[in-house]
């Protein structure tokens, strides 16, 4: 793929922007080894979300769902952030307001040093009881292949948002606010088909933000973007940092 140029407009906009926000999806973690959902080797090509990523599936077959999340946790524990995550963390200090709004549950933005990360779909390293809501921290129980139980007897579930569930209020509200206030908004490594997260770039654009999409291919969002940078986020983001903040 031809080396994507960083436009002078984008560099100028970033140099003057006081408020910037970034929405990320599975694509930003692909170069770290986290499978995406809808790509060639995507999780939803191999597994059925209706069997694994919703509440009813969990209640009807908790061990199957738990085992699947243990499998995903093992992958995520063995990987590290990539230059894309670090570039985003490095952008933070150059703007008065900077927010990372992520659909990813892999904790990699936090590991890369980003301070303000709004996790719209939760975090796979967290767990809680479906009955009393208490966070589960008993590592031994959490490491077992079988779904653990809370002291109250309730099933312990992964701290992620499943299909058909509401997003956690605070991260969603913070995400909307960041989108409404951003002068520059990046949509990175997301197919932009899962709502309400996919609304955020459109909210930002309607509020006047300069909208940049970074993806290895065009998406449903591309016609709305002011710029579509085609390529790997782990290659394009470090170059944006180099050219905009040098
Ligand atoms: N750099 C940039 N973009 C990439 C890269 C890369 N190295 N690799 C893949 N992509 C792009 C793909 O082209 C695709 O558009 O990342 C996108 C990943 O899309 P999905 O797999 O649909 O993941 P995402 O958009 O994060 O899914 C949203 O759906 O399944 C649910 O809850 C899950 O948070 C997830 C949500």
- Ligand 1 mutation target, pool 4, 33, 39, most atoms within 8 A of CB: 39
Which parts of the chain sit beneath pLDDT 50?
1
H or E element in which residue 205 lies: helix 200-206
Give the Å distance between the CA of 191 and the centre of ligand 1.
Answer: 5
Select from 24, 82, 191, 239 the residue to mutate for testing ligand 1; criterion: most ligand atoms less than 8 Å from CB.
191
3-class SS of residue 23: strand
Nearest ligand 1 atom to the CA of 214 is: 2
CB atoms within 10 A of CB 119: 26
**Which residue numbers are catalytic?**
121
Distance (Å, whole) CA 194 – CA 182: 21
What is the pLDDT, as a whole number, of residue 3?
A: 56
pLDDT at 48: 77
Tokens linked to 17: 């922007």
pTM: 0.95
Q: Whose CA is nearest to atom 30 of ligand 1?
A: 37
Number of Cβ atoms within 10 Å of the Cβ of 129: 19
Closest residue CA from atom 35 of ligand 1: 103
Residue 166: per-residue pLDDT: 95
Q: What pLDDT shows up at residue 5?
A: 67
- Burial environment of residue 224 by CB neighbours within 10 A (0 to 12, 13 to 18, 19 or more): middle
Q: Which residues contact 173 (CB under 8 A, 6 or more apart)?
A: none
What is the helix (H) or strand (E) element at residue 170, kind and residue range? Answer: helix 169-181
Give the containing element (helix H, strand E) for 157.
Answer: strand 156-160
Mean pLDDT across the chain, nearest whole number? 92
Ligand 1 neighbours by CB, cut-off 6 Å: 25-27, 30-31, 36-39, 42, 103, 121, 189-191, 194, 214-217, 219, 232-233
The residue written with tokens 């208490």 in the block is: 134
Q: Is 190 exposed, middle or buried (0-12, 13-18, 19+ CB in 10 A)?
A: buried
How far does residue 11's CA lie from ligand 1's centre (Å)? 25
Q: Phi and psi at residue 62, in whole multiples of 5°?
A: -55, -40
Q: Locate tokens 């579930």: which residue? A: 157
Q: Whose CA is nearest to atom 5 of ligand 1?
A: 27
Q: What is the pLDDT of residues 192-226, one digit of tens each?
A: 999 999 999 999 999 999 999 999 999 999 999 99
- Could you tell which of 4, 27, 69, 225 is best to mutate to test the pocket of ligand 1, judged by most ligand atoms within 8 Å of the CB? 27
Tokens 């960041």, residue?
A: 178
Ligand 1 centroid, distance to 21 Cα (angstroms): 18
Atom of ligand 1 nearest to the CA of 43: 21
Among the atoms of ligand 1, which is closest to the Cα of residue 232?
Answer: 1
How much is the pLDDT for 36? 81
The Cα 199–Cα 197 span in angstroms is: 5
Ligand 1 centroid distance, CA of 35 (Å): 9
């Amino acid at each position: 793929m031809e080396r994507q140029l960083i436009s002078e407009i984008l560099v100028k906009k970033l140099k003057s922007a006081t408020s910037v926000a970034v929405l990320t999806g599975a694509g930003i973690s692909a170069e770290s080894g986290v499978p995406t959902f809808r790509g060639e080797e995507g999780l939803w090509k191999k597994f059925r979300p209706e069997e694994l990523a919703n509440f009813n599936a969990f209640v009807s077959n908790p061990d199957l769902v738990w085992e699947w999340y243990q499998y995903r946790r093992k992958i995520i524990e063995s990987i590290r952030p990539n230059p894309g995550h670090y570039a985003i963390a490095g952008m933070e200090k150059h703007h008065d307001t900077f927010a990372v709004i992520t659909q990813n549950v892999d904790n990699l933005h936090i590991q890369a040093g980003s301070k303000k990360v709004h996790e719209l779909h939760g975090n796979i390293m967290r767990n809680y009881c479906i009955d009393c809501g208490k966070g589960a921290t008993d590592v031994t129980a959490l490491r077992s292949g079988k779904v653990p139980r809370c002291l109250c007897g309730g099933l312990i579930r992964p701290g992620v948002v499943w299909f058909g569930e509401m997003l956690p209020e605070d991260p969603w509200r913070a995400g909307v606010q960041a989108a409404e206030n951003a002068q520059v908004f990046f949509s990175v490594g997301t197919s932009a088909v899962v709502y309400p997260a996919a609304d955020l770039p459109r909210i930002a654009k309607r509020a006047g933000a300069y909208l940049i999409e970074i993806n290895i291919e065009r998406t449903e969002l591309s016609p709305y973007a002011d710029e579509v940078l085609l390529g790997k986020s782990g290659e394009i983001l470090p170059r944006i940092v180099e050219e905009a903040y040098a």
